[in-house]
Amino acid sequence: MSPLKVFTKLRTGLFGYPAIKNFFENRDIISKFGGASIYDMIYLALPPHPARRLPFYLSVEEWVARNLPDEDYFFAWRVRPTVICGRNQDMAREVDLDYCSREGIDVVRRRSGGGAVYADMDNFMFSYITPGDKISATFSRYTTMIARMLGAIGIEAEATGRNDLLINGAKVAGNAFYHLPGKCIVHGTMLYDFDPSRMMRAITPSRAKLESKGVVSAAMRVTSLKAVGISMTIDEFGAFAVKYLCGDNVREITVDDIAEIEEIEKKYYDPGFILGRNAGEANEADIYRHMHIGGVGEFDVAINLNPDRTIEGVGLWGDFFVTGDMADILAPLEGVAYNRHALSEAIKETDPENVIAGLTRNNLLNLLI
User: Following DSSP, what letter does each residue of 163-200 receive, concatenated?
Assistant: TEEEETTEEEEEEEEEEETTEEEEEEEEESS--HHHHH
Residue 12 pLDDT: 30
Highest-confidence segment of 213-217, 218-222, 340-344: 340-344
Which strand (E) or helix (H) includes residue 234? helix 234-246
Percentage with pLDDT > 90 across the chain: 53
pLDDT tens profile 21-42: 344 444 444 445 555 567 789 9
Task: Report the run of H or E that residue 202 belongs to, with start and end.
Answer: helix 196-202
Residues 307, 313, 317, 321, Cα dihedral to 10°: 140
Average pLDDT over residues 16-25: 38
In sign, the C-alpha dihedral spanning 321, 325, 328, 331 is positive
Q: Which amino acid is located at 5 in the chain?
A: K
Mean pLDDT of 188-217: 72
DSSP-assigned letters across all residues of 88-133: T--HHHHB-HHHHHHHT-EEEE-SS-S--EEE-TTEEEEEEEEE-S
Given CATH 3.40.50.10490, say whether it is the number of domain 279-368.
no
How far apart (Å, rounded) are the C-alpha atoms in residues 269 and 273?
7
Question: What is the pLDDT at residue 205?
Answer: 62
Count Cβ atoms within 10 A of the Cβ of residue 271 and give its class: 0-12 exposed, 13-18 middle, 19 or more buried: exposed
* Distance from the Cα of residue 165 to its chain's centroid: 14
pLDDT of residue 224: 95
pLDDT of 316 reads 85
Per-residue pLDDT, 36: 54
Q: What is the CATH number of domain 3-275?
A: 3.30.930.10
- Domain range summary for the chain, segments of one domain joined by +: 3-275, 279-368
Whether the model clears a pTM of 0.85, i.e. scores above it, the answer is no
Question: CB of 279 within 8 A of CB of 290?
Answer: no
Residue 295 and residue 133: Cα distance in Å, rounded? 21
The answer to which of 28-32, 105-109, 120-124 has the lowest mean pLDDT is 28-32
pLDDT digits (tens, 9 = 90+) for 56-99: 999 999 999 999 999 999 999 999 999 999 988 888 888 999 99
Query: How high is the pLDDT of residue 277?
Result: 61
Q: Which of 122, 117, 279 is nearest to 202 (CA)?
A: 117
